[in-house]
A and B are shown apart, each in its own frame.
Chain A
Amino acid sequence: MQILMQLIVSGISVGMIYGVIAFGYQLTFATSKTLNFGQGEALMLGALVGLTTVNFLIGNALGNFWAYILMLPVVLAFGALQGSVVEWLGVRPAMRAKSEAGWIMATIALGIIFKNLAENIWGRDALRFPSPLPEASLSIGGIRIQPMEIVVVLGAIVLMVVVELFNRYSIYGKAVVATSNDRDAAGLMGINTNRIITFSYALSSMSAAFAGVLVAPITLTGASMGAVLGLKAFAVAIIGGLSSGLGVVIGGLILGITETLTGYYISTGYKDVPGLLLLLIVLSLKPSGLFGKAAIKKV
């Protein structure tokens, strides 16, 4: 029983990360029906910018904890900027040209460019990210957990709740929701939908960058860290459904927990298989995802 709980706890902390990244996919899909395939790279850039900032602050005689806290606004701002750039360079031209797939190629290409850029700036080694909290693990009822893992889960929840509250109660958020529901109608009501789409990309990359600095202290930071995470999160977005914020969180938890449970109870060699099976099953039975609203495309 204790082992089962330990596996579930580890699965939750991994799954929450998948969930936050997938949440980013969901944000842009809601407003523009497009995704940033470079989401993994947005996470990686966020983590590396965070690392440089933290090291700079620690170099200026700040403790690990305060350096981490002060770094957060820098990384969030950077993420927002990076997302806007992606939208401006990759998505807007494709949407203006009414291209069905242009944005797919463009965001993938931008992802590759960002990765190469990061390799040139930070090198290709995996770097250690100073942990803001003690690294010794806590024992809660026999289950061992690192303080940072708790922060990952809490941080992910806080981020998603803040975005949700913003959408529900602020006037700007309402414009986002209106654009998601019907872009043309929102445009007719005087909402600048282009600006809303840019904003959703900024928000999306911001959440990815935030996810990056959340995971960095328990994993390693490097130019290649985004590739696997971005792909896993994509699977999560499909399982949970691209139109549901809650769906991607639950999708993330399902994938994270299945991975650790399969690793232990079946074989570590087959850890990734059930996640992919689940993906295929969901795609064939409920293509809009477990929690997605089935969309009817009117022609």
Chain B
Amino acid sequence: MKMKFAWLLAASMMTAPVWAADPIKIGVAGPFTGGSASMGVSMRDGVKLAVSEINAAGGVMGRPIELVERDDEAKNELGVQIAQELINKENVVATVGYINTGVALASQRFYQEAEIPVFNNVATGSIVTKQFAGADFKANYIFRNAANDTIQSAMIAEEAVKRQGFKKPAILADASNYGQLGKTDLTNALQKMNITPVATEKFNVGDTDMTAQLLRAKEAGADVILTYAIGPELAQIANGMAKLGWKVPMIGSWTLSMASFIDTAGPNGDGAMMPQTFIQQPTTPKRKAFIEAYQKAYNVDRMPSPVSAAQGYDSIYLLAAAITQAKSTEGRAIREALENLNTKMEGVVTTYDHPFSAADHEAISDNIPVFGLVKGGRVGPAHPEDIEGDKALRIKPKA
């Protein structure tokens, strides 16, 4: 018995932190397994990297950050359970994450009620930050540092019609919420340019034969295919086009950068273009340091989802800056600090200078993302001139 106690004491001394103060608990929720795992895992790894850097530099207010990671498996009901666990049992001061818009929408109401900030660093649905905005709510606890679908669809339309001069786009979207909401956003964006898509086709998640959809687009005379879907089905589209011996460019939402698309489509996926907030290239010193640290920490060459990793990394620094400014871990104080962030913070994606206000909870504006292009299994810049010189760092215009 005595022996056991001695062991316990020794063990607790070994793990006892050098910190005198209590850690600050931050929740991390996202799909770490399943179809969107490449995004979830990259996001989590970006988050962990930022936390280890912050803790090595002395923590926040002299307290270390402790992450509570939970896998939501991209399932709404699991997201809800996790939200309740993180709020009531783990007592987190804030939660970062969410890859899937549906999970974010189902889960974040609990944070809103508990007045604990949620930092969406990947989910793109336009409605995510607007769920509790407006006159009916005293305050909105939902923030985001990802390019939302309104921004992405406008960029896709702009790129296809204005920059590349395509006149007859066909839209291919999956039957999920993500695909169908994106399809509506895309149709609206094209409408503003007086363009009606020549074909709008739908398929189920898990469909493997795209012959009917592609033939309809082809027969309608489509000169470009605009997509809103996720990796595996996007790959089936690219492979289906190759099978039919028909090749038109694919331009679509940022999911065209998913590893499952790039790896499954192989050479058929080359040339696909999508909006990216971050491309794995050392265009600024900060980005160079981030890429090298990530590669070293996780022993990879190609990040599975560079955008998710970079946004995950930045989300923690923004949150840490807000906690430091608020000098408190109380939810309301953190939210107020986020809404008037005084420190100008250089992140990987952009330099955040007053990124949020009480009315605007989106850190990424439409001038920040650039187009990425799939080539040889990697995403590079589609228009290298867009990120040359001083254009490398794109900053949200002041309100």
Contact = CB atoms under 8 A, between A and B. Distances in A.
A225 B208 CA distance: 10
Interface stretch (B92-100, B210-218, B323-331): B210-218
Interface stretch (B30-38, B105-113, B120-128, B278-286): B30-38
A220 interface: yes
B129 to A, nearest CB: 29
Interface stretch (A78-86, A120-128, A203-211): A120-128
B212 A220 contact: no
Interface stretch (B151-159, B198-206, B310-318): B198-206
A124 B212 CA distance: 28
B35 A126 contact: yes
Contacts of A215: 208
**Contact residues on A (Cβ < 8 Å of other chain), bracket:** 35 or more
Contacts of A124: 33-35, 37, 73
Interface in B214-250: 215-216, 219, 231-232, 235-236, 239, 242-245
Contact of A125 (B34, B175, B201, B211): B34
A72 interface: no
Nearest to A124: B34
A220 B232 contact: yes
A10 B209 contact: yes
Interface in A213-257: 215, 218-220, 224-225, 227-228
A224 B206 contact: yes
Contact of B33 (A123, A144, A146, A259): A123
Given A6-B211, A220-B264, A224-B206, A144 B245 contact: yes
A64 to B, nearest CB: 14
Contacts of A7: 211-212, 215
A220 B245 CA distance: 21
B377 to A, nearest CB: 12
A167 B390 CA distance: 76
Given A124-B35, A220-B264, A224-B206, A10 B216 contact: no
**Contact residues on B (Cβ < 8 Å of other chain), bracket:** 20 to 34
Contacts of B245: 137, 139, 144
A13 B211 CA distance: 12
Interface string A145-157: 1100000000000
B215 A137 contact: no
A112 to B, nearest CB: 15
B260 interface: yes
B66 interface: no
28 contacts: A6-B211, A7-B211, A10-B211, A125-B34, A125-B37, A126-B231, A126-B260, A126-B264, A135-B239, A136-B242, A137-B243, A144-B245, A145-B243, A219-B208, A220-B208, A220-B232, A224-B206, A225-B206, A228-B204, A260-B209, A262-B212, A263-B212, A264-B211, A264-B212, A268-B202, A268-B203, A269-B202, A271-B203
Given A126-B232, A137-B244, A268-B201, 10 more contacts: A6-B211, A7-B212, A10-B209, A124-B33, A124-B37, A135-B242, A218-B208, A219-B236, A220-B232, A228-B204
